[in-house]
Amino acid sequence: EVRLLESGGGLVQPGGSLRLSCAVSGFTFNNYAMSWVRQDPGKGLEWVSDISGSGDTTYYADSVKGRFTISRDNSKNTLYLQMNSLRAEDTAVYYCAKGACTSTGCYNWFDPWGQGTLVTVSS
C-alpha cells in the first residue's frame, strides 16, 4: 500500500522558517516525481512545487519562488519543503502528493496524497 506521511507543520511568526517532511512507503520512490500542494483553510487548492524522481529538476509556483525549496532524499524515501521568509498568506494545510506513471509515460496528476500538515504563519 502506498503511504505518504507529512510532518513538520506548526505555528511560525512572519519572516520565520519551517521545514516540512513527507515520508513515503509502498512504491519505488526514485521512480516518481513528487509534489507539494497547499490548501488555505476552507478554500481551494494551490500547487506549490514539483521535483523529479532523481531530484535534479524542480518547479515552483510564482507565489513561493525564491522562498521555498523542494528537495528529496531517495535513500531515506523522504520529500522535503524548506520554507523561508514565511508570510501570513502561506498559512495552509500542506499536502505531499505522488506523481503518476502509466504504460504511456509519467504525468502530473496527484495520486495519492498525504493527510496534510497545517502551517500557520502568525504573530
Partner 1 sequence: DIQMTQSPSTLSASVGDRVTVTCRASQSITTWLAWYQQKPGKAPNLLIYKASSLESGVPSRFSGSGSGTDFTLTINTLQPDDFATYYCQQYSSYPWTFGQGTKVEIK
Site residues for partner 1 per CB under 8 A: 35, 44-47, 50, 59, 61-62, 95, 100, 107-116
User: At closest approach, how far in Å is the CB of 9 from partner 1?
Assistant: 14
The amino acid sitting at 71 is S
Handedness of CA 119, 98, 46, 58 (dihedral sign): positive
Nearer to partner 1, 42 or 123 (CB): 42
Nearer to partner 1, 62 or 75 (CB): 62
Cell numbers 502561506: residue: 90
User: At closest approach, how far in Å is the CB of 25 from partner 1?
Assistant: 16
Q: Count CB atoms within 10 A of the CB of residue 27.
A: 16
Nearer to partner 1, 15 or 43 (CB): 43
User: At closest approach, how far in Å is the CB of 16 from partner 1?
Assistant: 25
Rounded to whole angstroms, how far apart are CA atoms 38 and 91? 9
Q: Count CB atoms within 10 A of the CB of residue 72.
A: 22
